[in-house]
Structure 1
Amino acid sequence: MSWKPTKKKSRLPRWIPEWLKVCINVCFRLFLVGLVAFLAIASYFYYKASQFDLDVVANLDQHSVLLDAHGEELAVLGNASNKIATYEDLPEDLKNALLAREDSRFFEHCGVDFYGLGRATVRNIKDLSFTQGASTLTMQLARNTYEIREKSLQRKLLEIALTLRIEAKYDKDEIMSYYLNRIYFGEGCYSIEEAAQHYFGVPTSELDLGQCAMIVGIIRGPHIFNPHNNLQAAIEQRNQVLARMVDIGKITQDQADAAMKAPLKISKKNDEISARNYAQGAIISHLSTIIDEQKITEGGLKVATTIDAKLQASCEKSITSLVAETPDLQAASIIIDNKTGAVLSIVGGRDYRTHQFNIALKGKTELGDAFTPFIYLAALERRQLPIKNQPVKTGKQIGKKETISIAKRLGLNGIFLESDIYNGSVLVSPLQAVTAFSVIGNEGSRPQTHFIKDIKTAKDLTIFKNSPESVQVVEAGNSAECLKLLSKQGKVYRYTSSSTSERSLWVMATNKAQTAVIWVGYDIPRDIPNRKQLLSEMNELITQWLK
């Protein structure tokens, strides 16, 4: 007698066919497996989301900070007045425009619009890519707050988990307010209040219907849809938002028509840089070559610069004082570290408030007899004898083409007038001059000048780190011989342009560790009064800076 296990009795009704019972059992088991998998995935992403500090959502101080060479705060980029619009400041038309354009079911869903998400998922499967996101306002807030940028399934699941946590902590009014105070509106505006003031010259609370629709239209394309860059595109976006508001019943067609006919009242574009002095302007210019504008203006960056704040303040005060008694006379200065190329101080004119063009960076001024040290160095490189205070005789030993070639190697990339090159007929900026002169004090090595050491996010994640570079452009022995041809005071080696140079005065100096240049002249070249006195003061200043 053999034993067989008793067949388990099915709990399903007897009238159900056996094949259907098998299908039901398989589906039930698959459901259980799916449920377990879902709970496991949900638990994992809930855990991941729990690692994020939700208080950050309400912390709207997202301005980027510039730090000086010693880690002290140098400046705050953007509008430091921290203009924040409360929910009560938001006009009903603005709230409705935002709902119509970005999330019409905002006050109904739990932060995730599962209907929209399902529809987007089907579309993404068809497209075999993440072409649709179905992002709600809360999801966008999570993405912007925690810098979740990459498009992937994992990113979307983490974003959903964070969204649910945000919805559990904050009410809908707070979420809308935080969203509008964090989103980017183009041209350096990363809050609704700044955008309202920038584009329309009014506070958020005074925006009319048409302005509300236009400002919401900017969100999807801050650069291409803002009225300063493309007025027609901005108008088209406004009209689309108004039409959508009509569709969801927030306004009537008559109201939309009236808003489209109303005067635009757009403020004139203000091109003023957020910088407050030449150093900050130069840093911002350098920053824009490293990361894109939106990343800068979204804020939250900590930018470690090369500027020595105390030295910068001293140079600004000294340059202003140097030309204070002579109307319209300009002056510029720059000091760099020879080994790293770090710019320690830069002054681009007599007064940044009235003259924002940075002469130290962008000016093109004739070197005149200040070209002499570079002729000495060129002669030494070609095994010729430098004749002190005789640049023409020295230069003729190697020829014009060779003189210019070596000058360019030193970093002088200006405009050369070959016919009079030995007398310094070359137009360069003080930045080029200081780079070239540093080669003499830096054992023949030319540094790569820069203003930024590294950039970190608010969470101290390094997104850029500068690696100082230098290039050996002349022999170290020749740069040492060239130093001997310069005047020396203590540890400072200096070359001063002749007082007979009527339209441009230069003083260049190095103490081997640092190099400095001071230039004095006019925007439109003309004779400079009191040249001897100015040169004396310039020499005194540059010696003090390089002690």
Structure 2
Amino acid sequence: MASSRDQKKPEKSRKKRRDSRRAEIAGKPGKKPPRKGLAKFFYGLMVVLVWAVILLIPVTLYYAHDLPDVTDIEATPGRDTVMILDQEGEILASYGNVYGEWLDMEDIPAEFVQALVATEDRRFFGHFGIDIRGLARAVWQNLSNRSLVEGGSTITQQLAKNLFLSSEKTVKRKIQEMLLSFWLEMNFSKEEILTIYANRVYFGAGAYGIDAAARTYFGHDARNLSLTEAAMLAGVLKGPALYSPFRDLQRAYQRTEEVLDNMVDASFIKRETAERAKKADVNIAGAAATGDFRYYTDWIFEQIPDLIGQPTEPIVVYTTLKQNTQMKAAGAVQQIMDREGVTRNASQAALVSMDPDGAVRAMIGGRDYGQSQFNRVSQARRQPGSAFKLFVYLAALERGLTPQTTMRDSPVILDGWEPGNYTGDYLGEITLETAFANSINTVAVKLAEKINRRNVSAMARRLGITTPIVEEPSMALGTSEVSLLEMTAAYAAVFNGGYKVVPYGILEIQNSAGQILYRHMPGPPEQVLAPATAQTMQEMLARVVTEGTAKAARMDFPVAGKTGTTQSYKDALFIGAGLDTVNGVWVGNDDASAMNKVTGGGTPARIWKNFMLRVSLDRNDATLVTPNVSPRTKPGNQ
């Protein structure tokens, strides 16, 4: 039997032969051969990759544990957003973040998709969420310029950041962005990612999604985008605050040209097509061009909770405003106030125009919304002066007095108060229609006493005045404060034949699905004046313009109205009707300081006439010295 020593000999012999073979290969006895060239490089790379994977697992788990919920990515956030449209469906303003209609891929214009891919992520259809080449190029450019001149985020990364993450520039946010990008690419097709991106990304001006952006900037839905509009929207994405056409239209056009050039470079469009698109004008929605609409839209916005409660979903509000009428009103106020404001020490003015049923077609709440958002049509409470005499004379007509009834214009003292006339003269025995046309204060005060002040106050209430009315002797001269909106509505009741007028601006409210939440339903008309009484007052108001204190408002067509001027020239008004509209104008100072002898028959009447001239000629360039010619094509108190 062999000993244990004999058994170990073969093993030692084999080990010796192995070591000898290695030494033979390496050239050095007993040592491994060193790795050289590519073998060494790949070996090192493999080691790095192995360690990277080992380290990446805990890093990924660390940053992934608090990733946001991504289970309902396509759901539009519920916001109390409000989009306000004019009578024609054009957007006037939006409040809060606006989300438009969700568009499927086939409904999103191909021009927008091409502009987006050409500008934001040209290799979108070839990468897996991270564009290594683009990222490397961005890093090189930034290092070469020693500043951040180029980003490397793909469309998928932008979607991940915009939907789920903040904009903070941290390592954690960037890693989570990459992880979410991988998740998006694994769970959605490229077309689905583009669809979600187009419907959820922020375009500026409170608009989220391509449809909201198209409606906000261009006044129409996204399905009908032109090539230039599509390129402009794609260009906004680089920096909505910088490239928004509402912010800087010239810069927006320059950015649009860059996008069109990108589309040419990406072979989406031909050079001649891009050049034609660069020359095309884009009709930017009127809400961006002027702040004038905001007085009106603020008034609309404040009424919504009373009609449907506080909005908890995006809603669309259709209104009565006519943009052409609004712009004519703004032009009339600006022209006359620019001409007379400084010399007359009058800093503010307001105008409201409504149909005889109370539908508000224009509202100028002040000279500059940017400087003051206080609405002098609906929010201000000012003395109406002699414009309040409407209620005195209406109450008198109801009690059997007529325009031919005579009263004596003479001094009168009530409770120690002695009213005077504007001229300081007294005319003696005169008819009521003459006293009304010439705004004789003594007769109005005597008349109110004759028929009882309570009846005057009741008449004002019946015609829609809701503010407190102090039944004192001076009440007949308009010493109780009212709003221009309610006063104009009261006059509208006279001009519509005696039916009560409640001013309104909201026609319909819908949610984003088109469900009607509210619709203006006026109901049966409420007769507040006998037709004969309303007709008689219309004739008396016409005489105010033809031969009384409002001669400055005379037109080539029938008009009627009443002036109002308060003590020390603190307020001046003219409220009148013509061309089936009823319009009220107020001029004054917010601090109630005195103007330089401004009467209702002066500056307010001229603003009113300027506005009516523009409406009658359908020209916003018309002035009080414009010859009364046929409309042509528009060029580039007394």
Paired position in structure 2 for 1:481: 536
Q: Residues 293, 170 of structure 1: CA spacing in aligned structure 2 closer, same or farther, 3 A cutoff?
A: farther
Paired position in structure 2 for 1:428: 482
2:583 corresponds to which of 516, 538, 542 = 516
Paired position in structure 2 for 1:471: 526
Residues 335-354 of structure 1: matches in 2 within 5 Å?
335-339=353-357, 341-354=358-371
Paired position in structure 2 for 1:334: 352
Q: Residues 408, 545 of structure 1: CA spacing in aligned structure 2 closer, same or farther, 3 A cutoff?
A: farther
Paired position in structure 2 for 1:398: 451
Whether 1:283 and 2:300 are equivalent positions in the alignment is: yes
User: Quick check: 1:492–1:509 contact (8 Å CA) kept in 2?
Assistant: yes
User: Quick check: 1:378–1:407 contact (8 Å CA) kept in 2?
Assistant: no
Counterpart code for 2:360? V
Tell me the SS of whatever aligns to 2:397.
helix
Structure 1 unaligned blocks of 5 or more:
1-54, 112-166, 183-187, 192-203, 206-273
Identity of aligned residues (%): 22
Paired position in structure 1 for 2:322: 308
1:495 corresponds to which of 562, 574, 582 = 562
Q: TM-score, length-normalised on structure 2?
A: 0.46
Q: Residues 87, 292 of structure 1: CA spacing in aligned structure 2 closer, same or farther, 3 A cutoff?
A: farther
Structure 2 unaligned blocks of 5 or more:
1-72, 101-119, 121-152, 167-171, 210-236, 239-290, 404-431, 436-442, 546-553, 617-638
Counterpart code for 1:429? S
Residues 252-401 of structure 1: matches in 2 within 5 Å?
277-295=294-312, 298=314, 301=316, 303-324=317-338, 325-327=340-342, 329-339=347-357, 341-385=358-402, 387-388=432-433, 389=435, 390-401=443-454
Q: Residues 305, 311 of structure 1: CA spacing in aligned structure 2 closer, same or farther, 3 A cutoff?
A: same
1:483 deviates by: 1.3
Q: Residues 294, 455 of structure 1: CA spacing in aligned structure 2 closer, same or farther, 3 A cutoff?
A: closer
Counterpart code for 1:326? G
Query: C-alpha deviations, 1:64-117, integer Å up to 9, x for none?
Result: 5433223344345546899x99652455993899xx9xxx9x969x99xxxxxx
Whether 1:88 and 2:157 are equivalent positions in the alignment is: yes
Paired position in structure 2 for 1:116: none
Tell me the SS of whatever aligns to 1:418.
coil
Question: Aligned partners of 1:304 and 1:323: how far apart in 2?
Answer: 31
1:443 deviates by: 1.2
Question: Aligned partners of 2:486 and 2:614: how far apart in 1?
Answer: 19
Tell me the SS of whatever aligns to 1:427.
coil
Paired position in structure 2 for 1:410: 463
1:458 deviates by: 4.3
Q: Residues 177, 371 of structure 1: CA spacing in aligned structure 2 closer, same or farther, 3 A cutoff?
A: same
Q: Residues 542, 396 of structure 1: CA spacing in aligned structure 2 closer, same or farther, 3 A cutoff?
A: farther
Counterpart code for 2:165? L
Q: Residues 545, 367 of structure 1: CA spacing in aligned structure 2 closer, same or farther, 3 A cutoff?
A: farther
Paired position in structure 2 for 1:544: 613
Q: Larger Cα Rg: Structure 1 or Structure 2?
A: 2
Question: Aligned partners of 2:207 and 2:351: how far apart in 1?
Answer: 32
Question: Aligned partners of 2:614 and 2:476: how far apart in 1?
Answer: 30
1:525 deviates by: 1.2
Residues 5-84 of structure 1: matches in 2 within 5 Å?
65-78=83-96
Counterpart code for 2:384? L
Query: C-alpha deviations, 1:229-251, integer Å up to 9, x for none?
Result: xxxxxxxxxxxxxxxxxxxxxxx
Q: TM-score, length-normalised on structure 1?
A: 0.53
Question: Aligned partners of 1:348 and 1:316: how far apart in 2?
Answer: 10
User: Quick check: 1:385–1:394 contact (8 Å CA) kept in 2?
Assistant: no
Question: Aligned partners of 2:329 and 2:609: how far apart in 1?
Answer: 12
Query: C-alpha deviations, 1:103-142, integer Å up to 9, x for none?
Result: x9x969x99xxxxxxxxxxxxxxxxxxxxxxxxxxxxxxx
Question: Aligned partners of 2:310 and 2:469: how far apart in 1?
Answer: 35
User: Quick check: 1:77–1:275 contact (8 Å CA) kept in 2?
Assistant: no
User: Quick check: 1:371–1:424 contact (8 Å CA) kept in 2?
Assistant: yes
Tell me the SS of whatever aligns to 1:508.
strand
1:447 corresponds to which of 486, 498, 501 = 501
Query: C-alpha deviations, 1:221-273, integer Å up to 9, x for none?
Result: xxxxxxxxxxxxxxxxxxxxxxxxxxxxxxxxxxxxxxxxxxxxxxxxxxxxx
User: Quick check: 1:368–1:501 contact (8 Å CA) kept in 2?
Assistant: no
Paired position in structure 1 for 2:603: 534
Tell me the SS of whatever aligns to 1:349.
coil
User: Quick check: 2:388–2:478 contact (8 Å CA) kept in 1?
Assistant: yes
Question: Aligned partners of 1:285 and 1:461: how far apart in 2?
Answer: 21
Counterpart code for 1:451? G
Paired position in structure 1 for 2:635: none
Question: Aligned partners of 1:180 and 1:460: how far apart in 2?
Answer: 20
User: Quick check: 1:496–1:539 contact (8 Å CA) kept in 2?
Assistant: no
Q: Give the aligned CA root-mean-square deviation in angstroms.
A: 4.7
1:471 deviates by: 2.1
The count of aligned residue pairs is: 348
Q: Residues 81, 464 of structure 1: CA spacing in aligned structure 2 closer, same or farther, 3 A cutoff?
A: closer
Question: Aligned partners of 1:441 and 1:343: how far apart in 2?
Answer: 15
